Amino acid sequence: MKERLVLIGNGMAGIRTLEELLKQDSERYEITVFGKEPHPNYNRIQLSSVLQGDTELHDIMLNDYDWYKDNKIELITGDAITHVDTERQTLYSAAGVERPYDRLIFATGSNPFMLPLPGADKEGVIAFRNIQDCETMINTSKSYKKAVVIGGGLLGLEAARGLLNLGMEVDVIHLADRLMENQLDGEASGMLKEELQAQGMNIHLKKQTEALIGADRVEGLQFKDGESLDADLVVMAVGIRPNIELAKETGIDVGKAILVNDYMETSHENIYAVGECAEHREVVYGLVTPLFEQAKVLASRLCKEDGASYEGSIVSTSLKVSGVDVFSAGEFMDTDETKSIRVHDEFEDTFKKVVVRDNYVVGSVLFGDTSDSPRILSMMRSSQDVSGMNKATILPSESAEDNAGSAVELMPDEENICGCNGVCKGEIVSAIKEQGLTTVEEVKKTTNASRSCGGCKPQVTELLSLATGEDASQAEEPICGCTDHSHEDVVAAIREMELTYIPEVMNVLGWETEDGCTKCRPALNYYLGMVNPLDYEDDENSRFINERMHANIQNDGTFSVVPRMYGGVTDSDQLRTIANVADKYDVPLLKVTGGQRIDLLGIEKENLPSVWDDLGMRSGNAYGKGMRTVKTCVGENFCRFGTQDSIGLGIKMEQKFEGMKTPHKVKMAVSACPRNCAESGIKDVGIVGVEGAWEIFVAGNAGVDLKKSERLCKVETDEEVLEITAAFLQHYRENARYLERTSHYIDRVGLDTVKKVVLEDEKEKAALNERMDIALSIEQDPWTDIVDSEDKQKDLFEKKQVSITT
Ligand SMILES: Cc1cc2nc3c(=O)[nH]c(=O)nc-3n(C[C@H](O)[C@H](O)[C@H](O)COP(=O)(O)OP(=O)(O)OC[C@H]3O[C@@H](n4cnc5c(N)ncnc54)[C@H](O)[C@@H]3O)c2cc1C
Ligand SMILES: NC(=O)c1ccc[n+]([C@@H]2O[C@H](COP(=O)([O-])OP(=O)(O)OC[C@H]3O[C@@H](n4cnc5c(N)ncnc54)[C@H](O)[C@@H]3O)[C@@H](O)[C@H]2O)c1
Ligand code: SF4
Ligand code: FES
């Protein structure tokens, strides 16, 4: 019989230990994992990127449910272990689950430290540690304005940048006299403060909070110096505390955390600890690089008695805030025993400092240009004696590098590229050459490089380009972890092999998982529908919840309903109907949207079909990957400046493209003069009236990644606008990757490529229009469809759903 191994804590260190263990001996243990959070293992580090709008929540899963299934691991999520009986070698959970163990791993991580201030229990006072915190911040930003972050360390500043991106006003309250005082000296910290202030953060140093004020919800902060500040949201980021209560109650020796030896063994036989909950040689780590090193050692200990030992780690950090490059490692402050080399370039706004003690590099701080960080870290890790070196060469100037080749090219093979996962240049290059890797995703899968914070992705991409001779930044990436096939491969296969349904695509292309995942299923559903519009039967279960319910789910589980109003025009009958529906269903909030529509918020799920029926209006498709709205200005009908009928054209466009499905949402606008009141300059398709003609702009984007649209052409008639818009959108539908906005698509392929087809090739323009007409010919109003079908209503509103909720 196999030994039973139980892991408490389904986080980054614990699961990395299992991954390493499975690599060494996949058959040795029968494994059970308990995780308090209701998710499979995700990349906690990337919560900052999710908050900053660079990544979606569904992209940060490291091991989805299939991974556990495929490796025969029993996973129990949303349930905490509350008691360990070491006599009976049995664990007990909060939900009453009981499991025996032969070996037990504590990987319980940390809890965020919450300052015990009066008022700290008020609504709106949170930490930043998990998916729920991240969702709370995103949702709060939709209704509130003022955020205050307490703590100007790594976490606080990453949270503050995220909240700024979400459109909130942000104040950072910091206790020390400089930001990131655990990582930066005064000079670098001062430069950081200036940069963050320029980005819009209000930073308060040497400020101590005395109380949080407000009724039920937080309304402000009271400081020790008598000052106060308004706040709708307070995020505490003042450090973490190892989660060791359970270990303590079990009788395991603890100090600051669970005490472990060089093999990650605790004071109890067959009980181990790894990650932030472990204390090794008086050090508790709070970064993934050392935790992954511990994981490797523990895995080898679990496989053999004479495995490697853990000797401690040299840690380095980088702040993940876009536009700010900061790196810090080891001893960064000057002392009587150290000397430092420093270069402060006030023209380029960069600062570099390397600290040397007894002829060894022991620390560094880099600001503005962190390209030297892998080399410096490598010198620290290998304890390189620099006594014989010309000290100036420790910090080479950029121009010297430019002449001699890129920094990555010049690195020796043993130098680390990926700090988080400890992967050196030689390892990556051999993997690329020996296994014929061509994409960053493949390198990530094979070597782990770039799997955590993603900070090393540019270097990995450069190595790929150097090794393959191709520009790897343009390489096609696999759709997701279920397959090695790229979006382009899959679309080509669907066309060439005439594939017609999702399981067939997965089967023919050798998918690695049985049912795919939340990334590939919606993409395949879109591609199949795009290639075979007349024959493909849409797979509702492969859609995200909003698209399946034809309404937007809100933070309290209710839905928002936006009826279609072509061109943003309504009349008194429609308004009366909407008002009657709002009264009948006690709609808590009626709101005019940015797209000039009326949003009925707070509708209960079971009332959706009757609300749609009572409204008698078509769906505004405000929830889907497809055409959303055409916003219009009043134009020549009423405006003094208007020379064109913007409303008329807007309505024609909206009627033509209503229901169109696209890789991502598409927003349009028509303004009747260059004053641009309908904001045509930030839309996927924006039309602007000029004397006797229309200018067509494309690929604009509002939101987090603000981008001004690019001018496609100028035409004279409404018909030409419709024809060129259809050709442009069909080109986008056929060639963009699923979830790629028009702005990213044009960035990738270039506007000239699109112009050649859409403007210069009459035959292709006509063919694109024809294919667009076919696609549009099958679109039906989804609300009417559901209202008219009892079966569909039962299916959607009575049966329990298999959901893709993120
Ligand atoms: C927003 C953010 C950004 C970060 N950025 C970086 C970065 O850029 N670089 C870096 O190196 N580090 C970063 N970190 C730190 C890094 O994420 C942590 O060091 C790492 O996740 C710790 O791993 P762990 O497995 O020890 O703990 P965790 O990932 O916290 O996992 C522990 C898990 O155990 C569960 N658990 C606890 N008690 C029980 C119980 N009794 N029963 C069942 N389950 C239990 C917890 O719910 C948790 O899911 C960041 C952290 C945050 C919050
Ligand atoms: N990029 C990264 O590597 C990264 C990003 C986020 C989080 N993390 C890790 O997550 C963990 C938590 O991060 P953190 O920034 O909360 O911890 P931290 O301990 O690094 O920083 C906490 C900061 O809060 C300040 N502080 C403490 N009490 C305060 C008070 N009363 N008022 C105002 N400020 C106060 C401290 O001066 C300190 O600078 C750490 O282990 C960190 O390394 C790392
Ligand atoms: S865009 Fe020009 S025409 Fe339209 S409302 Fe504004 S000023 Fe008037
Ligand atoms: S350095 Fe963080 S993933 Fe490579």
Residue-wise pLDDT for 363-412, tens only, equals 999 999 888 888 888 888 888 888 877 766 777 654 444 444 567 887 88
- Strands 202-204 and 169-173, by their bridges, are parallel
Residue to probe by mutation, ligand 2, list 179, 238, 421, most atoms within 8 Å of CB: 238
pLDDT at 239: 97
Answer yes or no: are the C-beta atoms of 662 and 668 closer than 8 Å. no
From residue 751, alpha-carbon distances to 104, 687, 725 in Å are 57, 17, 14
111: left (phi over 0), alpha (psi -120 to 50) or beta: beta
User: CB within 6 Å of ligand 1 — which residues?
Assistant: 8-14, 34-37, 44-45, 47-48, 80-81, 107-110, 128-129, 155, 243, 246, 275-276, 286-289, 291, 320, 420, 453
Answer yes or no: are the C-beta atoms of 212 and 114 closer than 8 Å. no
Ligand of minimum distance to the alpha carbon of 635: 3
DSSP code for 322: T
Residues with pLDDT less than 70, the chain: 391-392, 396-406, 704-705, 798-806
Q: Is the CB of 287 under 6 A from ligand 4?
A: no
pLDDT at 549: 87
Q: Give the Cβ contact number of residue 39 at 10 Å.
A: 18
Residue 373 amino acid letter: S
Burial class (CB in 10 A: 0-12, 13-18, 19+), 235: buried
DSSP code for 801: P
Answer yes or no: are the C-beta atoms of 148 and 234 closer than 8 Å. yes
Q: Give the Cβ contact number of residue 743 at 10 Å.
A: 23
Q: What is the DSSP string of 358-373?
A: TTEEEEEEEES--TTH
pLDDT at 307: 79
Answer yes or no: are the C-beta atoms of 373 and 366 closer than 8 Å. yes
The pair of three-digit structure tokens given for residue 328, joined into one six-digit string:
């810090």
pLDDT at 704: 67
Calpha distance 688→262 (Å, rounded): 68
From residue 268, alpha-carbon distances to 133, 263, 412 in Å are 35, 13, 43
Going from the Cα of 526 to the center of ligand 2, the distance in angstroms, rounded, reads: 43
Residues forming a β-bridge with 33: 7, 75
Residues forming a β-bridge with 209: 223
Ligand 4 atom at minimal distance to the Cα of residue 452: 3
What pLDDT, in 10s, does the model give residues 533-586? 999 999 988 887 788 889 988 878 889 999 999 999 999 999 999 999 999 999
Which domains does the chain show, CATH number per domain?
3-109+243-303 (3.50.50.60), 112-240 (3.50.50.60), 323-394 (3.30.390.30), 416-468 (1.10.10.1100), 478-543 (no CATH), 544-619+782-805 (3.90.480.10), 629-780 (3.30.413.10)
Q: What is the DSSP string of 496-548?
A: HTT--SHHHHHHHTT-SSSS--TTHHHHHHHHHHHH-TTT----GGGS-HHHH
Q: What is the DSSP string of 378-411?
A: HHHHTT-B-TTS-GGGGS--HHHHHHH--HHHHS
Distant-in-sequence contacts of 91-95, Cβ < 8 A, 24+ apart: 91/6, 91/8, 91/34, 93/34
CA angle centred on 493, ends 492 and 496, rounded to 5°: 80
Q: Is the CB of 158 under 6 A from ligand 2?
A: yes
Q: Is the CB of 643 under 6 A from ligand 3?
A: no
Residue to probe by mutation, ligand 1, list 12, 236, 246, 451, most atoms within 8 Å of CB: 12
The residue to which tokens 């000296």 are assigned: 185
Q: Give the Cβ contact number of residue 446 at 10 Å.
A: 16
The pair of three-digit structure tokens given for residue 770, joined into one six-digit string:
């024809």
Q: Is the CB of 374 under 6 A from ligand 4?
A: no
Ligand 2 atom at minimal distance to the Cα of residue 179: 39
pLDDT at 805: 36
Calpha distance 437→137 (Å, rounded): 39
Answer yes or no: are the C-beta atoms of 239 and 113 closer than 8 Å. yes
Calpha distance 366→117 (Å, rounded): 35
Answer yes or no: are the C-beta atoms of 279 and 259 closer than 8 Å. yes
If we measure between CA atoms, which residue out of 672, 628, 632 comes closest to residue 650? 632
